[in-house]
Structure 1
Amino acid sequence: MQKTGEAVSVEKAINDVQEIIDSEISFERMQDLINDFDKESAIYLSFLLGKGKEISYSNLNKELSSRNIDINRLLASNIVKKEGNMLKVLEPEERYEIIKDEEKILVIDQADYFYYLVKEGNLKAAQKAVTEKAYKFLKKQNENGRGVKKYIKKAIDLAESIL
């Protein structure tokens, strides 16, 4: 097989096609999620969740830029932190320290705040903090394993008993 005039292996060609397909699926998924959440939370669920604790800045920036999405939205929202040429995906516990005293406008903020309160056993505050969107976000997140499973499950169960 050839790509831009150069020979490439069938395996490389298949991997390239799979990356394109995955990217298109992620983008379509994000468009659907924007209707339920905000753009930053949808970007997180579509392009970051399930891809590990670190992701290449240049790869993600390339993928987002091709969709007219500014990677700085994720940085400004403290969803990721740039460390050299990598982006560290911040866990709910790390984000809690950043967002605890701020208004929780983004759904990911609401979900991380609620999750952290449940994890720490502050159920009274968690009951006041839970929102329908945070609950839905946690359910989506639970499918791909961010945070500690047992606390996500506990947060989901608590939200279901309240909402």
Structure 2
Amino acid sequence: MFAYISGSTFVIQNLFGASPQLFSILFALNGLGLIIAGQITGRVSVSISGQTLFISGITLATVSGLILFIVLISGGGLYAVCIPLFFTVSSVGIVTTTGSSLAMQNYVQAAPLTGLGGGKSAIPMGLIIVLSNMVAFYMIFTRRKPGNNQ
């Protein structure tokens, strides 16, 4: 996903000569594909296991990524590139939806922490959010090596 976000402007506009307007349309269509894939995944997850959906998403990402690469090295045009790129980006909606769900299944004990107020207060949720962010902030600024701005 990061390769797509960081490289798509260069590839689509500079290498394929698309206008900024066309690039925006293509980027929006890919974003829409990602959203639709995530929505469909959420709806079918009641009848298809998360593991199966996750594997399907990874398979779609791999196959469409391979097709994209083949189209690119064979000199395919912009629209030939856009089709596998759409499926590659859309697969992120499947993988992140099911991946997050599968990951959280092993950590159900964390969820009750936000319910410490007995369902009558939002303060426990806010407290957990701010404390988690403060720990992350602390870790970032105390664990960095001197001179490393990344």
Superposition TM-score, scaled by structure 2 size: 0.30
Larger relative CO (CA 8 A, sep 6+): 1 or 2? 2
Which structure has the greater CA radius of gyration?
Answer: 2
Judging by fraction of residues, say which structure has more helix.
2
Judging by fraction of residues, say which structure has more strand.
1
Superposition TM-score, scaled by structure 1 size: 0.28
